[in-house]
Amino acid sequence: MAFEGAVQDLIDELARLPGVGPKGAQRIAFHLLGVDGEQISELIDALRRVKDEVRFCVTCGNVSEEDVCRICRDPRRSDDVICVVEESKDVAAIERTREFRGRYHVLGGALDPVNGVGPEHLRITELMNRLSNPGVGEVIIATDPNLAGEATATYLIRMLSTLGITVTRLASGLPVGGDLEYADEVTLGRAFAGRRAVS
């Protein structure tokens, strides 16, 4: 323990955050000690508000400040398409594209049997319940393009195949702005397999 009680406790708490190591935690703690008390008060306040006010939308599972989130409340969005993602931050990423005007369903993670995350830990039952009401014509599966995301997508496709709803997945291929020579072989293979006629 290098510092007196409260400072060391704060460093320990900060070091538990993702992407913040012991050195980074120390830097942040001394930054907060050095600035006037206002920034630390604002941070405490922001944390307390998130703790007290933020919950998860009862419909889609996205973070929300009310029982039903902003996106599920929006009457201008289409009820016809549901995009299934792992986390709320994926919703934010897709919203930034401005390509999608349907609804979302946030699973709360991806299947990861090694770490004990099975289907019962994800909001899959809630998804099936939403789809049991008529009106949804397409489910877009937008899990992460990694091992856990692929496993989750495969599981969902099997679950959804009985419902007679169109199920689609996001295109795999070369990232825009990337270099073809630096693409890994799986990505490049997918780009070939998914090639499109242009004339």
Site residues for a copy of itself per CB under 8 A: 2-7, 9-10, 12-14, 16-20, 24, 26-33, 37, 39-44, 46-51, 53-54, 63-65, 69-70, 87-89, 92, 95-96
Using CB atoms within 10 Å of the CB of residue 119, give its burial: 0 to 12 exposed, 13 to 18 middle, 19+ buried.
Answer: middle
Among candidate residues 110, 111, 61, 68, the one with its CA nearest the CA of residue 88: 61
In whole angstroms, give the CA distance from residue 153 to residue 47.
33
As measured in angstroms, the least distance from the Cβ of 66 to a copy of itself is 9
Radius of gyration of the chain (CA): 21
Read off the tokens for 137.
């014509």
In whole angstroms, give the CA distance from residue 138 to residue 130.
12
- Strands 103-106 vs 138-141: parallel, antiparallel or unpaired: unpaired
In terms of CB distance, is 57 or 153 closer to a copy of itself?
A: 57
As measured in angstroms, the least distance from the Cβ of 195 to a copy of itself is 32
As measured in angstroms, the least distance from the Cβ of 13 to a copy of itself is 4
In terms of CB distance, is 2 or 114 closer to a copy of itself?
A: 2
In terms of CB distance, is 43 or 157 closer to a copy of itself?
A: 43
In terms of CB distance, is 149 or 160 closer to a copy of itself?
A: 149
In whole angstroms, give the CA distance from residue 103 to residue 105.
7
As measured in angstroms, the least distance from the Cβ of 173 to a copy of itself is 23
As measured in angstroms, the least distance from the Cβ of 152 to a copy of itself is 17
CB 127 within 8 A of CB 133: no
In terms of CB distance, is 9 or 80 closer to a copy of itself?
A: 9
